[in-house]
Structure 1
Amino acid sequence: MNAASLSLLAPVPNHVPEAAVFDFDMFHDPGLLEDPHQRVLELARQAPPVFWTPRNGGHWIFLGRDAAFDGARDSSSFSSEMMPHDQMMAMLAMMPKGSPHVPIPYPILLDPPLHERYRQPLQTVFSPRTVSSLKDKIRELAVDLIDPIVDQGRCEFMSAVAEPLPVQIFLKMLGLPLDMMPQYRALVKENLAAQGADADAGAAAMQRLIKVAAIMRDEILDRRDNPRDDILSMLWKVEIDGKPITLEDMENYGVLLFIAGLDTVMNAMGYAVRHLAQDLELQDRLRADPGLIPKAAEEMLRLYSFVVPVRRVARDLEFGGLQMKANERVMLYLPGASLDPAAYADPGIYDLERDNKSHIAFNAGPHRCLGAHLARLELQTLYEELLARMPRFRLDPERPATFLCSHILGVDTLHLVWDS
């Protein structure tokens, strides 16, 4: 491990026993950058299910499946609010007059009961019935992206397919013009590449959210005055606590949908297609029997979970036999939870016939992913069309895949080759 690339070591608090300390830098670990799956598999074998790392200012990591699951469900102990909501509102109120509205991705950064008030309006938007109505559009988009590359014999899959597909779906669902796609693709790349743990990263993240809201603002206001058949128009009709929705609420929802709906789906595609490129037998089996694809997609999500939600210890408490102090940070390390050897037999092996296919890729508890139905539909449709239209594809031996590590274990580039 290249120590020079790691963040500085922070002092270990007195209440953390030596046995619970494990040195792991989730933002700069060289192994994660080389191959996230193999590094997390190694971590799951070596590290305790709950541990304190002294990197990035020091924080807890819930690595085991039970720990991540229990932490995700217990919002009274492990808060999604990076500071109490009242404090956040007071801080924003102190900004200079005329400052731009700082959008907050509600309801991701809220705890119950306020969380439910902002999540409920989105339930209809992402219901199975609503999502199913998008199936033909998603298939059409997948075909439009795949067909032009078939005769090329090679592609960089992330930029050619995995990124534009969810971005276009996002734009179509919200009713935003497709000519805005270059701006959103640029923001997706910026968002994936710039995540971190320090104060500068937090300030940069705030600026990115302001940019997202600014790009969407004219269209949001237009849907208020000229409603159409899209999500923005639908949201203008809802009430929160019996009060009409505001422009600030709409911008909060907009940045939420941007964060939750784009880089997550594209990385799920990237990891799964990378796996298929290394497993030609599985490609052949799924081509011969496309009815297996939904089951195959679930095992991909288990094997390659990649989201790391952040929590704040809400009060002094004991968890897993360890003392934790108020305001310490917790990383729900879902990639490790899905590879927990205590929960899965041979967790690093892809097993289409695995008895235990349950996974935590979409999180758990009150913050379980609202867009899980949509994500599954996008993933399954993409795999169906890719396998139906493409010949056997392989990894390009001359251009290895590259990765990003942060709160998302991201696929940066994925070069494929095939016989055209």
Structure 2
Amino acid sequence: MSSPITDVPIPAHVPAELVCDTDIVNDPDLLADPYAAFDRLREKGNILWSPKLGGHWIVLGAHEVREAFQKADTFSNYPTGIPPLNEFWPRKLIPQELDGDDHKRYRRLLTPFFSPSAIRPMADSIRARTHELISQFADRDEVEFVDAVARPLPSTVFLDLFGLPLEQADVFTDWTYQLLHSGSHEKSAEAGQNVVTYLIELIAQRRQDPKDDLLSTLTNAVVDGEPLTPDEVLDTAFLLFIAGLDTVTSQLGVVFHHLAQHPELQQQLREDPESIPAALEELLRVYPIVPPARTLTEDYTLGGVEFKTGDTVLLAASAASRDPEVYDNPDVVELHRGGSWTTAFGMGPHRCLGSHLARQELTIVLELMVEMVPEFELAPGHESKWHTAGNVWGLDKLQLRFKK
């Protein structure tokens, strides 16, 4: 997505040797393969600075990324400072862009809905929906996996949480894609407004006629003795909308892109389905899809580099969890590596609220794909087209061919 934000002069506190000319939204190297591009970028240093998109730091080393995640008061979640989402949504996304006690209060409200005990009962419905989706192409020679599974499945999970009919799934997935990955400011703004208009109407309905769903709980929730304002409900619902629909979609595409190129791993999973959870953790380590942005609330020295108050920082999760200083053969998926940690869901107090639900969805899709379809590979002529805007990496399409 082309951004109206132009290159900026190099600030006085940025050493010239740390400057790199990397555009994390439009750079051709990233759009060809963002993981390989960030691996190459890390070879230049664990911390770099780019003048693109208004100017920002890129933190690539594992130890530095981990430290920044843990220093949540200094590395603030607001404002993110990276387009396109910040260009459309002027207010804070709740609870993601809150810090300190404010973040704890609002996160505490949502935690019960995303705890392991809360999401475990959803497994049967997720499995049934996944089985239905895979059955539609299990006897075919090829399938476009993103449209067939990766997009529709997370949308139905979101619809269940919000108590909405499944018939609206296609509309929601289209709005999400247009908002975050269309490459057009006009389409992004239009889709964002569609989401907001829909949520405002839905929130009003739930206030008048509450259901047994997450949105009804939000509309009637109380924090510190005060009910949530309409804006607070909207800010929370909007975050759940974009996070719930986009991130799992992107992670599914990335995981199966790897599997399609590694038949030996597929074979391992088919012969030993019990190894799927370990394989998923390794795939999450090698392929995190979210490089989150932070803003400095005070001067801070990280990895020997001086950051200043107000600096924008991109925490390159993929580069951190593929850091050769931490892992041997860091870009290789090894089922029995052991002792690994992943940045896929972040770390510290802002660790992804929906991580348990995401893992459940990903695990079920892995289990049913190796059970229901034969070995698959990238279809002849398939060209991997990545998107990196919206602070989420993913594939627009993934054409798979089955070996029969």
TM-score, normalised with respect to structure 2: 0.91
Where does residue 412 of structure 1 map in the other structure?
Answer: 396
- Going from structure 1 to structure 2, the CA distance change for 1:317 and 1:207 (only over 3 Å counts) comes to farther
For the 8 Å contact 1:235–1:250, the answer to whether it is kept is yes
Q: CA deviation at 1:329?
A: 0.8
Matches within 5 A, 1:4-23: 9-23=7-21
Q: Is the 8 A contact 1:105 1:256 kept in 2?
A: yes
Bigger mean CA offset, 401-410 vs 370-379? 401-410
Instruction: Say if 2:95 is the partner of 1:107.
Output: yes
User: Is the 8 Å Cα contact of residues 79 and 111 (structure 1) preserved in structure 2?
Assistant: yes
Maintained 8 Å contact 1:103/1:213: no
Does the CA contact (< 8 Å) of 2:255 and 2:283 recur in 1?
Answer: yes
Question: Matched residue of 1:149: which SS?
Answer: coil
Find out whether 1:378 has 2:378 as its counterpart. no
Asked if 1 retains the 8 angstrom alpha-carbon contact of 2:58 and 2:316, the reply is yes
CA separation of 1:247/1:155 partners in 2, compared to 1, >3 Å: closer, same or farther?
Answer: same
Q: Secondary structure at the match of 2:49?
A: strand
For residues 77 and 214 of structure 1, the distance between their equivalents in structure 2, rounded to whole angstroms, comes to 34
Amino acid at match of 1:182: D
1:69 matched residue in structure 2: 66
Inter-partner Cα distance in structure 1 for 2:179 and 2:189: 11
Distance in 1 (CA, whole Å) between partners of 2:37 and 2:302 is: 26
CA distance in 2, matches of 1:106, 1:385: 34
Pairing of 1:8-407 with structure 2 (within 5 A): 9-44=7-42, 46-82=43-79, 104-194=92-182, 208-406=191-389, 407=391
- Which whole-Å CA distance do the structure 1 matches of 2:157 and 2:179 have between them? 18
- Separation in 1 of the partners of 2:199 and 2:45? 44
Q: Distance in 2 between matches of 1:308 and 1:321?
A: 21
Supply the distance in 2 between the matched residues of 1:325 and 1:351 (Cα, whole angstroms).
Answer: 39
Is the 2:31–2:388 Cα contact (8 Å) retained in structure 1? Answer: yes
Question: What is the CA-CA distance between 1:209 and the residue it aligns to?
Answer: 4.1
Structure 1: distance between partners of 2:70 and 2:136: 44
Secondary structure of 1:315's aligned partner: coil
Q: What letter corresponds to residue 245 of structure 2 in structure 1?
A: L
Question: 2:78, 2:92 within 8 Å by CA — same for their partners in 1?
Answer: no
Summarize deviations over 1:287-331 as a string: whole Å, max 9, x none.
121111111100000011120211111123322222222211111
Aligned residue identity for 1:417:
R
Contact 1:49 1:64 in 2 (8 A): yes
Question: How many angstroms does 1:207 deviate by?
Answer: 6.1
State whether residues 49 and 57 of structure 2, in contact with CA within 8 Å, keep that contact through their aligned partners in structure 1: yes
Flag structure 2 segments of 5+ consecutive residues without an equivalent. 82-88
Q: Which residue of 2 aligns with 1:96?
A: none
Q: For each residue in 1:100-157, what CA deviation from the matched residue of structure 2 results, as whole angstroms up to 9, or x when unmatched? A: x976420111111211121110010111111001000110110111001112211111
Conserved? CA contact 1:103–1:209, under 8 Å: no
Shift of 1:204: 7.8
Distance 2:239 2:285 in 1: 24
Q: Contact 1:316–1:323 at 8 Å: present in 2 too?
A: yes
Deviations along 1:20-78, one digit per CA (max 9) or x if unpaired, are: 2233221122111112222222223x121111122223211111111111112212211
Q: Which moved more, 1:212-221 or 1:395-404?
A: 212-221
Residues 21 and 52 in structure 1, CA contact (< 8 A), matched pair in contact too = yes
Kindly provide the amino acid, as one letter, of the partner of residue 412 in structure 1: D
1:372 positional shift = 0.4
- Matching residue's letter, 1:387: V
Give the 3 Å change call, closer, same or farther, for CA 83–51 of structure 1 in structure 2.
Answer: closer
Question: In 1, distance between residues paired with 2:120 and 2:301?
Answer: 43
Count of residues in Structure 1 that have an aligned counterpart in Structure 2: 395
296-305 vs 73-82, which deviates more? 73-82
The unaligned stretches of length 5 or more in structure 1 are 85-100
Letter in structure 2 aligned against 1:409: W
Identical pairs, percent = 37
Q: State the Cα deviation string for residues 164-217 of structure 1 (Å, max 9, x = none).
A: 00011111111122222222111121133157xxxx96x986765443121123
The CA RMSD over aligned residues, in Å, is 2.4
Checking the alignment, whether the CA contact within 8 Å between 1:51 and 1:61 is kept in structure 2 is: yes
The alpha carbon displacement at 1:218 in A equals: 2.9
Question: Is the CA contact (8 Å cut-off) linking 2:179 and 2:192 kept in structure 1?
Answer: no
Contact map agreement 1:103 1:251 (CA 8 A) in 2: no
TM-score by length of 1: 0.88
